[in-house]
Amino acid sequence: MISINEIKNMREGQLFDRKSIKIEAKTLEIPILAFANAEGGTIAIGISDDGKIEGIIGHENKINEILRVPSDFCFPRVKVDFEYIDCIDDQGAVNKVLLLIVQQSTTVHVNQVDEAYYRIGNESKKLNFDERMQLMYDKGDMLYENAFVREATFDEIDLELVDQYSKVLGSLKMPYEFLCNSLRIVRQDKSNDKLSVAALLLFGKNPQAYFPWARIRFLKYEGIEEKTGTEINIIKDIMFEGAIISVLQKSLDFVQTQIKEYKYLHKDDIFHTTPEYPEFVWKEAIVNAVAHRDYHILDRDIQVKMFDDRFVVESPGTLPGLVLVDNMRTVYFSRNPVIARYLREYKFMRELGEGVDRMYQELFQAGLPAPEYKVKDFITVLTIRKVNRKSVVDITKSSHKDLKKGANKDLEGDLQKDLQIDLDKGLEKDLKKDLEKYNDLGLNNTQRKIVAEILENSKITQKQLAIVIGINERNIRNNIEILKNKGIILRVGSDKGGHWNIIK
């Protein structure tokens, strides 16, 4: 149990407040509501604002009034636990202090005049209409994905996407009936059908017409800082739009082409390969952002950022419901249950929040730091950091003639960050030299790009090549055949599990 000295010395803030026993009981509704609507908190009764211990003995009627506040003046009732702490008051007498331990709530609570409060720092802030609506969406009192979009019509639904999903669920209903009666994301109306936010995001022909920020933006930076202005260091800036399944699949396919693979010398004197980030981890990070972002925030897209030392996903919205940084491995809450179910049915997501726990496990097994979560300015930021690996050499450069077995054998412990960055830069120069030898082989620009991408990633697929280079898969196949006939590349293994070799 907490001691009176700890209580006396605690600073008022996000999770703690103190009140004099002389306070009017009803006014406690404000901090109680604010704590319940935020992260919970504790109110110490019987300590004045200047820290003097007044105690509560002799004020039994006032205490009874205070204990009724959570039920008499808060709607719905706020769950509050009570504790009495023994103390010596400022008069030197034995006394007690009352602690009101306010639990964080999954719903929004208001007072008798329908006002909502929220704890921010050491203040209990009264929420305006928009802030209250946002809080209701965050807590699941209202689901923004269920809100109807006034101007949208059924003609804007891609029936092929609806048909595909109905088959995944094993439904035999026609698309219209499926949306209205099974998913309940379209409402039949006398004058015009009403489409929900989820209906447009999942099945809309052009969701960005209504939700221009419902997209993923990929940004790749040179170095480890995010610079702007004349020093801007963005080297890739790609936008992915469309219905959710299209946005997600296209972004995952593209990011796959940007993840490096490394080769390191194991103690068995055999080179082993490993990606710079475990595949499940970075995919889960992006999928979770799509599933749980706050689509009510209309001026921010999901941003996936790659730096030399970390992988970052920024998702609009705070952590939903009772999910906190400290409990997210065990507590699951979906801000968008219709969208989350859709992604689970298509096998993008695991059940009941298992994905986050597996992220921690896979990062641990890979020798990488645990994921870092923080919420800043209504944006949830997930950072996955690289560690400096033992005996690391970029596998995409491993075809170099001067890479000898055991070349890095004497490197012990983790490489320093600057050493790894210098190594990558040096290998990039070697890659350019490697490409120069193809100048005399009569390769066109597309073929040179294909060779460059294969040197960067030996496991790149034809579909990924098409995305990166910006042409269709048919043209990729035709150019790959030319490269094979010239004896420049060779496919080893199956289409799914194989890789490319540069043989010339």
The pairing of strands 148-149 and 234-240 is unpaired
Q: What is the pLDDT of residues 215-232, one digit of tens each?
A: 999 999 999 999 989 999
Q: Chain-wide mean pLDDT for the chain? A: 84
What is the pLDDT at residue 373? 92
**3-class secondary structure, 489:** strand
Asked if residue 441 has pLDDT above 80, the reply is no
Give the whole-angstrom CA distance, residue 399 versus residue 313: 32
Query: Does CATH place domain 4-127 in 3.30.950.30?
Result: yes
* Letter string b/e over residues 448-484, b meaning 16 or more CB atoms within 10 A of that residue's CB: bbbbbbbbbbbbbbeebbbbbbeeeeeebeebbebbe
The H-or-E segment that residue 82 falls in is: strand 80-88
Asked if residue 69 has pLDDT above 90, the reply is yes
Candidate CATH numbers 1.10.3720.10, 1.10.10.10, 3.40.50.300, 3.40.605.10; the one for domain 437-502 = 1.10.10.10
Domain boundaries, the chain: 4-127, 144-209, 216-385, 437-502
Mean pLDDT score, 39-55: 91
Between residues 136 and 46, the one the model is more confident about: 46
Between residues 349 and 279, the one the model is more confident about: 279
Residue 265 β-bridge partners: 271
pTM of the predicted model, to two decimals?
A: 0.61
* Same CATH fold assignment for domains 216-385 and 437-502: no
Give the whole-angstrom CA distance, residue 115 versus residue 465: 56
What is the pLDDT at residue 497? 67
Residue 180 β-bridge partners: none
The pairing of strands 216-221 and 302-306 is parallel
CATH code of the domain made up of 216-385: 3.30.565.60
Residues 6+ apart with CB under 8 A from 187: 148, 180, 193, 194, 196
CA distances from 130 to 120, 127, 137, 148 (A): 16, 8, 11, 17
Give the whole-angstrom CA distance, residue 118 versus residue 139: 13
Asked which of 21-30, 144-153, 384-393 is least confident by mean pLDDT, the reply is: 384-393
What is the pLDDT at residue 463? 81
CB 149 within 8 A of CB 296: no
**3-class secondary structure, 45:** strand
Residues 6+ apart with CB under 8 A from 429: none
Asked if residue 325 has pLDDT above 80, the reply is no
